[in-house]
Amino acid sequence: DAKTTQPNSMESNEEEPVHLPCNHSTISGTDYIHWYRQLPSQGPEYVIHGLTSNVNNRMASLAIAEDRKSSTLILHRATLRDAAVYYCILRGLTGGGNKLTFGTGTQLKVEL
Amino acid sequence: SAVISQKPSRDICQRGTSLTIQCQVDSQVTMMFWYRQQPGQSLTLIATANQGSEATYESGFVIDKFPISRPNLTFSTLTVSNMSPEDSSIYLCSVEGGQGANTEAFFGQGTRLTVV
């Protein structure tokens, strides 16, 4: 399976932007980059996904490097509710197929 | 989107007994997925359940321990059999919004199981 590497934890202040990095140097051309987050005591929640171009939705933005070997999830204004574990996952032919293979993720702490 | 309901939300069980977890989806889906999340750990896929066929289990998980039913396109059950304290985990049900890698997944709130 193509693997992703994320920092174990990050901290942010409320109402500031947060940039969560993910490295995936072995990504293939058909792998999609997915992001999920898991709030305390809840199941994972879809955040965003993309293939080559940057993506925006109401929750976040996904910036994908030109060589696709890394990506960054951007939360434009962090709130206390954004404190969660964020998972960067590859899905595709080399990303374990269509399966979602969760790594350890990044624990985001948001402070007042 | 899909709304997933899991029952029970939590349970405390005696070792040696079995617990059946139910997963109900508000729309018809081809595949349903069962995950385990051990304390302080990430999610691990247990099996994929298709309606009308036997579930496909991931390495390290066997049907005798985790039998799965999929009687229709909106419902599935996972049974944790002959439980031991090592089975204490959160068990989650998941479905896909479509097919393929270009689709999002939806998760239930999970069933928190404690085996004593």
Q: Write out chain B's pLDDT in tens, 116 residues.
A: 899 999 999 999 999 999 999 999 999 998 999 999 999 999 999 999 988 889 999 999 999 999 999 999 999 999 999 999 999 999 999 998 877 888 899 999 999 999 99
What does the pLDDT read at residue A46? Answer: 96
Q: Which residues contact A5 (CB under 8 A, 6 or more apart)?
A: A22, A23, A24, A103
User: Searching chain A, which residue's CA lies closest to the CA of residue B107?
Assistant: A43
What does the pLDDT read at residue A94? Answer: 53
User: Searching chain A, which residue's CA lies closest to the CA of residue B43?
Assistant: A102
* Residue closest to A109 by CA, chosen among A43, A12, A37: A12
* Residue closest to B78 by CA, chosen among B43, B44, B36, B37: B36
Q: Which residues contact A110 (CB under 8 A, 6 or more apart)?
A: A11, A12, A13, A14, A18, A78, A79, A80, A82, A83
CB contact under 8 A, A44 and B105: yes
CB A88 within 8 A of CB A22: yes
Summarised one tens digit per residue, pLDDT across range A61-79 is 999 999 999 999 999 999 9
Which residue of B32, B59, B102, B112 is the best one to mutate when testing the A interface, meaning the one whose CB has the most A CBs within 10 A?
B102
CB A51 within 8 A of CB A27: no
Q: Tell me the C-alpha distance between B14 and B100, whole Å.
A: 40
User: Would you call A101 helix, strand, or coil by DSSP?
Assistant: coil
Q: Which whole number is the average pLDDT over A89-106?
A: 79
Q: Is the pLDDT of residue A1 over 80?
A: no
Neighbours of B80 (CB within 10 A): 25
Q: Which whole number is the average pLDDT over A26-48?
A: 94
* Residue closest to A85 by CA, chosen among A111, A58, A107: A107
Residues of B in contact with A93 (CB under 8 A): 101
Q: Which residues contact B86 (CB under 8 A, 6 or more apart)?
A: B115
User: Which is it for strands A32-38 and A84-91: parallel, antiparallel or unpaired?
Assistant: antiparallel
What does the pLDDT read at residue A95? Answer: 47
State which amino acid sits at residue A105.
G
Q: Which residues contact A41 (CB under 8 A, 6 or more apart)?
A: none
Q: Is the pLDDT of residue A11 over 80?
A: yes
Average pLDDT, chain A: 92
State which amino acid sits at residue B45.
L
Percent of chain A with pLDDT over 90: 83
